[in-house]
A = this chain, B = another copy of it.
Amino acid sequence: MKLFEPLTDSVFYIMASLTEPRHGYAVMSLVEETTKGAFVIGPASLYTIIKKLLKEQFIVMHDESDSRRKVYVLTDVGRQTLEADIARRKVMIEMAEKGLERGSIG
C-alpha cells in the first residue's frame, strides 16, 4: 500500500474534514465555509472521492450513519496519510516563500 502518495487538493480538503465524523454534505459545506468560497467541491467530486477513499481505506463509514446521512471518518492509515501530506505541503510553502523573499529584494 502506498501510504505517502501526494494527495490532490480536493482529496486533502475532504480528508481534513473527516478528522472527526461528518457526513458528505457537511464536508462540502465545511470546505466552502473554511475557504470562504475559494474552493468549492461539488457533489460529483465529493462522492467520487469518497468512494475512492473508502476503497483505499483512508476513511470508513461511521456507526452514526443512517440511511439518509452517511457519516464517514478517517482511519489510522488515513490519518497518517494526511499527516504525511501536511508535511509535504509545508515544504511546498517554505519553498515558495523562500523564493518570493529572494525575488522581492530587487
Interface window among A43-51, A53-61, A64-72, A81-89: A81-89
Tell me the minimal C-beta distance from A60 to chain B in angstroms.
14
Interface size class of A (residues with CB under 8 A): 20 to 34
Dominant SS among interface residues on chain A:
helix
A82-B100 CB under 8 A given contacts A38-B4, A89-B89: yes
Residues of B within 8 A of A17 (CB): 95, 99
How far apart sit A20 and B100, CA to CA, in the bound complex (Å)?
8
Cβ B88 vs Cβ A100 within 8 A:
no
Q: Can you add 4 more A-B contacts, CB < 8 Å, to A4-B38, A86-B93, A86-B96?
A: A8-B8, A9-B92, A79-B103, A86-B100
